[in-house]
């Protein structure tokens, strides 16, 4: 399989008062926009609502909006995002495991791509039932809730496992990694089998480089990693 790497800057890492300008400034350098939705309950933080996703979609038509739901009340919150301009919605396996299959189907039936995510403490085995249905598996490489945390290296073992399962079973999901990714460890992430790379603080909080410059370096390093 010819692998393509998708770079997905996490809007949570941007200066909230400059999000529009920051997206414009890196528009030729990203593939997806990663949007974290937090409810103050599943994680101890609050972020964006469906109107924000709608505004992104309106202002950046054609942009692939990768919504990462970190919420408990899936029955209430998922419908809010189904028609919000999201291209893909990822839900957490830890949220309401009994709803996982139904919620993924709901997303798919609405014509969107669906993803499932696991926290660092959750094993890949917990989602084996939905691997066939999912368009994307998101491996959290930090405890969800905040940007700027340190990358948990053992998450790459899960990436590796998912990469092998996909080959053996002929599944179609993309493998995404989120949390603590920077210009250097992107190499290991790609070598381990990641297709989609989320990065927040590395892209938006570099004192010496613009987001576009960081993404250019990430692209270069990921392409090198594919050759190894």
Residues of this chain that bind ligand DX5 (CB under 6 A): 10, 12-13, 34, 36, 68, 142, 144-145, 147-149, 178-181, 198-202
Q: Residue 145 is inside which H or E element, if any? A: none
CB of 2 to ligand DX5, least distance (A): 27
**CA 70, CA 174: separation in Å to the nearest integer?**
19
Residues in 6-35 that interact with Zn ion by CB under 5 A = none
Looking at residues 128 to 187 of the shown chain, list those that interact with Zn ion (rule: CB under 5 A): 178
**What does 142 bind: Zn ion, ligand DX5, none (CB cut-off 5 to 8 Å by kind)?**
ligand DX5
- Helix, strand, coil percentages (3-state) for the chain, rounded to 5, are 40, 20, 40
Q: In Å, what is the CA distance from 4 to each residue of 120, 156, 201, 222?
A: 25, 18, 23, 10
Q: Which two tokens stand for residue 99?
A: 């709803």
**Residue 68 C-beta: closest distance to Zn ion, Å:** 4
Contact 117, 139 (CB under 8 A): yes
Residues with a catalytic annotation lie at 36, 178
* Binding partner of 149, given ligand DX5, Zn ion, none, CB within 5-8 angstroms per partner class: ligand DX5
Q: Which stretch binds Zn ion (CB under 5 A): 41-49, 66-74, 99-107, 180-188?
A: 66-74
- Using DSSP's 3-state secondary structure scheme, residue 89 falls into strand
């Amino acid at each position: 399989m010819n692998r393509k790497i998708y770079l997905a800057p996490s809007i949570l890492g941007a200066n909230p008062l400059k999000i529009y300008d920051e997206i414009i400034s890196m528009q030729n350098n990203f593939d997806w926009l990663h949007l974290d939705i937090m409810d103050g309950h599943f994680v101890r933080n609050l972020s964006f609502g469906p109107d924000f996703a709608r505004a992104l979609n309106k202002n950046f038509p054609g942009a692939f909006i990768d919504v990462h739901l970190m919420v408990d009340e899936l029955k209430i919150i998922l419908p809010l995002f189904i028609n919000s301009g999201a291209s893909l919605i990822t839900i957490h396996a830890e949220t309401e495991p009994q709803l996982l299959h139904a919620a993924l189907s709901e997303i798919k039936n609405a014509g969107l791509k669906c993803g499932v995510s696991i926290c660092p403490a959750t094993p890949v085995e917990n989602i084996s039932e939905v691997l066939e249905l999912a368009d994307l598996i998101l491996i959290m490489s930090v405890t969800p809730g905040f940007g700027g945390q340190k990358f948990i290296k053992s998450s790459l073992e899960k990436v590796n496992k998912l990469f092998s399962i996909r080959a053996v079973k002929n599944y179609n999901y993309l493998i995404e990694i989120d949390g603590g990714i920077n210009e250097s460890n992107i190499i290991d992430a790609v070598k381990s089998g990641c297709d989609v790379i989320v990065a927040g603080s590395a892209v938006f909080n570099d004192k010496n480089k613009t987001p576009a410059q960081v993404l250019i370096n990430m692209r270069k390093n990921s392409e090198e990693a594919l050759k190894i």
